[in-house]
Amino acid sequence: MAIDAEQVRRIAHLARIGLAADEADRYIGDLESILTMVERMHGVTTAGVAPLAHPIDVGQPLRPDRVTETDQRDAYQADAPAVANGFYLVPRVVE
Amino acid sequence: MNMPRNGFPDTLVTAARALASGDFSSHELVSDCLARIEAGRHLNAFVSVDAERALAAASAADRRPADERGPLNGLPIAIKDIFCQTGVRTTAGSRMLENWRAPYDATVIERLTAAGAVLLGKTNMDEFAMGSSGENSYFGATRNPWNDRHVPGGSSSGSAAAVAAGMVPAALGTDTGGSIRQPAAFCGLTGLKPTYGRVSRWGMIAFASSLDQAGPMAWDADDLALLLNVMAGVDRRDSTSVDEVVPDYTAGLTTSIRGLRIGLPDDLLGDDVGAEVRATVEATRRVFEGLGATIVPVALPTALAGVPAYYVLAPAEASANLARFDGVRFGHRCADPKSLEDLYLRSRSEGFGAEVKRRILTGTYALSVGYYDAYYLQAQKIRRLIRDEFLAAFTQVDAILAPTTPSPAFALGEKTDDPVSMYLQDVFTIPANLAGIPGLSMPAGMSGDLPLGVQLLGPHFGEGTLLTLAHAFQQETDHHLRRPGAAA
Amino acid sequence: MSQWETVIGLEVHVQLATASKIFSGAPNRFGAEPNRQASAVDLGLPGVLPVLNEAVVHMAIRFGLAVDAEIAPVTQFARKNYFYPDLPKGYQISQLDHPIVGRGHLDIIVAGKDGDTVKTVGITRAHLEEDAGKSIHDQVPGLTAVDLNRAGTPLLEIVSEPDLRSSAEAVAYLRELHAIIRDLGISDGNMNEGSMRCDANVSIRPRGEEKLGTRTEIKNLNSFRYLEKAIEFEVERQQEILEAGGRIKQETRLYDSERNETRSMRSKEEAEDYRYFPDPDLLPVTITPAQIEAVRAAMPELPRARRERFVQQYGLSTYDSRMVASDHGTAAYFEACVAVAGDAKLTANWVMGELASVLNREEKEIGAAPVSPEALGTLISRILDDTISSKIAKTVFEIMVTEGGGADAIIEARGLRQMSDSGELERLVDSVVADNPDQVAQYRAGKTKLLGYFVGQIMKATGGKANPGQLNELLRARLDGDT
């Protein structure tokens, strides 16, 4: 399974993982060997088999429409990297 | 009764009996555990030791009136650092959460606490449960108490090492592809991955949501039954937890196994299984036959394709589950981000270790445009084949006997440069996660100074049968009574 | 007629009016202090899990039934992956392959030169998803402030077929949807607060061409007017480009209401790869025929049925019926009003005329009208029983709006009761005929338009209180008969 630097850069960007140049080289090799192993899957005949997302065949339970949560902002923001006036802060986003 | 050191028993059931008859107090027992944790620091089994609160909880348990005592009153338990717990940091073995304090308790933490358990601290683990050796922790590798040049297995590495070293009678782990069973096998313990949906995932930091399941690790089946009684049951906060009756697993332990049918899958005993492991499975089979069980061959032709399927599905789910670690609301944020993009890229690059990044990249690739059908959907189809083969097998047999791992614990550093050879460690454990069925690993032999385990697999919600079989086996054999160093 | 044909499809996001959020027990309310109603689940803290709110499922089924759509027997949630500060988990829980509402359709009324026409607009699907939070760019200098109160608000995204051919059709479609969701009680539809938001996919093609042109997606259309303006701007922009030999770039554009233009969104420049996959935290939701029937049995009357009923029951014209029956609030007001007033046509005129202009002037919803429907009904009934003229009624109505009080009290207090005493009116007619011999002569010579002059004289003398019908009759009899 061949994978090139451009593909790794694209995936890393989709996943927002910053990669230094030497790291990118290493991940190319790693991903190639992982994907080669994964390709063994293609030896299995799956024609007519439906994909399985959940191992147990049960339905989704529904929650009654009631408010059960109270304001926990202080607790939730206690370990936040940057907050002001109750807002979470990030570098300026340009629309 | 097994009393290895200082006169304190090292299983929950025996300790509970001794506490009840007043041989010692929970405070004394917990103090001894804390001393052993301290003495075993080089094993790096714990990320955080919660000594003060543990001693306070032990004293409270000692003072608790008899009629208010839960089934785990005063019993020390260690928690894999993937479960959210208030009052102590919850790291998932990651720099990303190095200093994160969860504002809530996981459901299993609530249940253990309500049953009177004394929680000693948080055990080391492969970062975000991604690993099979315990070497992928930001807080350093955990060592195997049987031989500290070897790995304890992973990802529940610290839990396995803590129990095996006698620091604590039992610990919680999680198992996404073998992370309870493989370290249990490497450390001479009995460990159970319950049916998917048996135990609530609320408050358990997700790796791969459709595969993750919490379970107990201890020396023997009796302790697992005691813990599972407390842990199991539906939770309205976890949509995937199943509203299925929870039997009394302890009461079911002594049920006769005579007449039970145990499947032996040739598909899982091929050439890649080492001679020692094969011999161990064979010996185990003879014990069960001697106990009156019938051994029948079963076919699991797709099971070995589980590894490639798993290494698509688990990373795919993980790539989304770990997107929330973005340096905005909690967790690691890089210094002086220049832009939003910079904030994301550096926070995540600095916060995650190499294996986590590898899996996020693999999963992102598998889900991306042009690859989804060939990778993700094909893996899900294989998942169905594997599950259906198990369901078919369980119309013929009550349980399946298989190896837990291809070999005993390997040396530290042996596989760190080769991710794929590390992944293949999970070849026998992964099928149960894909199928959502319960799996139990129990010690069944030795390879030099290192233990060997075998695995029992059961139908959905068939934990009771697995525990009964393991209990019967352990009544007949003494593998579960071996302790590190004792043989040397 | 232009050589270009406009093709529009709308994606409408409707915030559902539940008590709690779609996947958490946090309150679903507008306007709280930042992050005070963002629960652990809404914030995507480690270890949390979503649980689906049953009310959103019921609301989606209600909507599906209202547009004659297929309701999925099994519906599934998926994760849509992208990074943005107001998207806490790094993915949005949405639906892709098995949306809860399948193909349906909606009839809209398009006003044209030759009267109204009914057009059927295809609805491709409607699916459930969670709303994101808000990024605020002017709160802290140099930084973006993130408020996640809105995160996890239930949304129903309604996707139309590209069946709309003009900004007017797009607006008519959006108005009909707005009316329906309010009738169904599934949303307040408040566009100012973002309860209903609209994205428009706009393209143009040469008339007669089958193939669709390259489309742009315009975001941020939070009023009917902006929808209309943005489409008009965008169509013109695309025409200019194509007529100059250029090509349309497929892109996301933002409508800037202050400058009345659309512009490319830089943050959306790169092609997204959302990597949808089934959400492993949420199991498939099964919807049984019995559940659907239970919802159907509790369906309220919808705009189309109500319009037909108003024609049948009240004898309104289709035009009047469309005007008063389309909107839930207006229809309710009309029905309460006509119950007191008695005359449907006159009531409809008042609701569409005087009342509408007051609401417009005071920027009020009909639910907050300054005059109750019963009070207006009483006023109208005073026209019908000849207590006051229509003209005086307008004066009375204005007093009711500005000073309050009932029609009868105002009429009495101000002495506005109209003069219908024929003896008194005859005396007035006599005196005006006597005082204006020249005009009488001209009238009788054939200049009958002078009748208005005599009416005016008498109205002036009575302060407008003379019963105009009766007065006309008396004047005619006097002028025409007495030769």
Q: Which chain B residue has the Cα nearest residue C88?
A: B324
- C455 burial level (CB within 10 Å; 0-12, 13-18, 19+): middle
Residue B105 distance to chain A (closest CA, Å): 13
Is A42 in the C-facing interface, judged by CB distances under 8 Å? no
What whole-number distance in Å separates Cα of residue B17 and Cα of residue B361? Answer: 50
| Side-chain half-sphere exposure of C390, counting CA atoms within 13 A | 8
Task: Write the pLDDT tens digit of every residue in B273-301.
Answer: 889 999 999 999 999 999 999 999 999 99
Q: Look at residue A85 in the predicted model and tell me its pLDDT.
A: 94
Residue A87 distance to chain B (closest CA, Å): 10
Residue A9 distance to chain B (closest CA, Å): 10
Mean pLDDT of all residues in chain B? Answer: 96
Work out the angle between the directed axes of helices C451-462 and C468-481 (0-180°, nearest 10): 130
Residue B426 pLDDT exceeds 90: yes
Q: Which chain A residue has the Cα nearest residue C219?
A: A95
Check A67 against C34: CB less than 8 A apart.
Answer: no
Q: What is the pTM of this model?
A: 0.91
What whole-number distance in Å separates Cα of residue C310 and Cα of residue C312? Answer: 5
Domain of A17, in residue numbers: 5-42
Name the band, by pLDDT with cuts 50, 70 and 90, for residue A3: confident
Give the domain ranges of chain B. Answer: 12-256
Q: Look at residue A24 in the predicted model and tell me its pLDDT.
A: 87
What whole-number distance in Å separates Cα of residue C129 and Cα of residue C127? Answer: 7
Q: Look at residue C448 in the predicted model and tell me its pLDDT.
A: 84
Task: Write the pLDDT tens digit of every residue in B457-488.
Answer: 999 999 999 999 999 999 999 999 999 986 43
CA B186 to chain centroid: 12
For B304, the token pair is 């070995």
Residue B162 pLDDT exceeds 90: yes
Q: Which chain A residue has the Cα nearest residue C74?
A: A59
ipTM of the complex: 0.97
Q: Which chain C residue has the Cα nearest residue B96?
A: C46
CA distances, A11 to each of A8, A18, A33, C169 (Å): 5, 11, 16, 42
Q: Are B16 and B99 in contact (CB under 8 A)?
A: no
Check C273 against B100: CB less than 8 A apart.
Answer: no
Check A58 against C140: CB less than 8 A apart.
Answer: no
Residue type, C218: I
Of all residues in chain C, the percent with pLDDT exceeding 90 is: 69
How do the residues of chain A divide into helix, strand and coil, expressed in percent and rounded to 5?
Answer: 40, 10, 50
Which residues of B are designated catalytic? 80, 155, 179
Query: Which of B210, B309, B362 faces A31 most closely, judged by CB atoms?
Result: B362
Residues of chain C with C-beta less than 8 angstroms from the C-beta of B376: 277
Task: Write down the H helix ranges in B374-429.
Answer: 378-393, 419-423
Residue A95 distance to chain B (closest CA, Å): 12
**Other Cβ atoms within 10 Å of C232 Cβ, number:** 16
Domain annotation covers residue A18: yes
Domain annotation covers residue A95: no
Q: Are C156 and C16 in contact (CB under 8 A)?
A: yes
Residues of chain B with C-beta less than 8 angstroms from the C-beta of A17: 345, 348-349, 352, 357, 360-361
What whole-number distance in Å separates Cα of residue C439 and Cα of residue C430? Answer: 14
Q: Look at residue C483 in the predicted model and tell me its pLDDT.
A: 47
For C473, the token pair is 């009759």
Q: Look at residue C367 in the predicted model and tell me its pLDDT.
A: 87
What whole-number distance in Å separates Cα of residue B159 and Cα of residue B180? Answer: 9
CA B202 to chain centroid: 17
Check C50 against B239: CB less than 8 A apart.
Answer: yes
CA distances, B108 to each of B213, B216, C215 (Å): 11, 11, 52
Contact partners, residue C69, CB within 8 Å, separation at least 6 = C63, C101, C102, C103, C104, C105, C123, C126
Domain annotation covers residue A94: no
Q: Which chain A residue has the Cα nearest residue B242?
A: A58
Check A69 against C26: CB less than 8 A apart.
Answer: yes
Q: Are strands C277-278 and C285-286 parallel, antiparallel or unpaired?
A: unpaired
Mean pLDDT of B35-44: 97
Of all residues in chain B, the percent with pLDDT exceeding 90 is: 96
Which residue in the block uniquely carries the two structure tokens 């149960």? B432
For C108, phi then psi, to 5°, come to: -120, 160
CA distances, B193 to each of B88, B179, B430, B455 (Å): 25, 9, 11, 11
Residues with pLDDT less than 70, chain C? 1, 266-271, 482-483
Where on the phi/psi map is residue C260: left (φ > 0), alpha (ψ -120 to 50), or beta?
Answer: left
Residues of chain B with C-beta less than 8 angstroms from the C-beta of A50: 381, 384
Domain annotation covers residue A16: yes
Q: Look at residue B1 in the predicted model and tell me its pLDDT.
A: 39
DSSP state of B374: I
Chain C residues 74-113 within an 8 A CB cutoff of chain A: 76, 81, 83, 85
Check A56 against B319: CB less than 8 A apart.
Answer: no
Contact partners, residue A95, CB within 8 Å, separation at least 6 = C137, C254, C265, C266, C267
Name the band, by pLDDT with cuts 50, 70 and 90, for residue B70: very high
Mean pLDDT of B329-337: 97
Q: Are B61 and B93 in contact (CB under 8 A)?
A: no
For B184, phi then psi, to 5°, come to: -60, -45
For B37, the token pair is 């944790």
Check A95 against C33: CB less than 8 A apart.
Answer: no
What whole-number distance in Å separates Cα of residue C241 and Cα of residue B209? Answer: 49
Mean pLDDT of B370-396: 96
CATH label, B12-256, candidates 3.30.420.40, 3.30.70.1560, 3.90.1300.10, 3.30.360.10? 3.90.1300.10
Strand intervals (E) in B235-350? 261-265, 294-298
What whole-number distance in Å separates Cα of residue A13 and Cα of residue A19? Answer: 9
For B130, the token pair is 């991604």
Terminal-residue alpha carbon distance, chain A: 39
Is C47 in the B-facing interface, judged by CB distances under 8 Å? yes
Q: Which of A7-16, B2-11, C354-363 has the lowest mean pLDDT?
A: B2-11
Q: Look at residue C268 in the predicted model and tell me its pLDDT.
A: 59
Residue A90 distance to chain B (closest CA, Å): 7
Residue type, B486: A
Query: Which of C26, C148, C285 faces A59 most closely, judged by CB atoms?
Result: C285
Q: Are C248 and C241 in contact (CB under 8 A)?
A: yes
User: Facing residues of C115 across strands?
Assistant: C112
Q: Are C109 and C116 in contact (CB under 8 A)?
A: yes
Check A66 against C286: CB less than 8 A apart.
Answer: no
What whole-number distance in Å separates Cα of residue A5 and Cα of residue A19? Answer: 11
Domain annotation covers residue A33: yes
**Other Cβ atoms within 10 Å of B288 Cβ, number:** 22
Residues of chain A with C-beta less than 8 angstroms from the C-beta of C136: 87
What whole-number distance in Å separates Cα of residue A80 and Cα of residue C388? Answer: 69
State how many domains chain A has: 1
Q: Look at residue C30 in the predicted model and tell me its pLDDT.
A: 87
Residue A95 pLDDT exceeds 70: no
What domains can you pick out in chain C, each with its CATH number? 4-294 (no CATH), 303-413 (no CATH), 422-480 (1.10.10.410)
Q: Are B116 and B71 in contact (CB under 8 A)?
A: yes
Check A17 against B345: CB less than 8 A apart.
Answer: yes
User: Facing residues of B150 across strands?
Assistant: B411
| Side-chain half-sphere exposure of B272, counting CA atoms within 13 A | 13
Helix, strand, or coil (residue C394): helix
**Other Cβ atoms within 10 Å of A6 Cβ, number:** 8
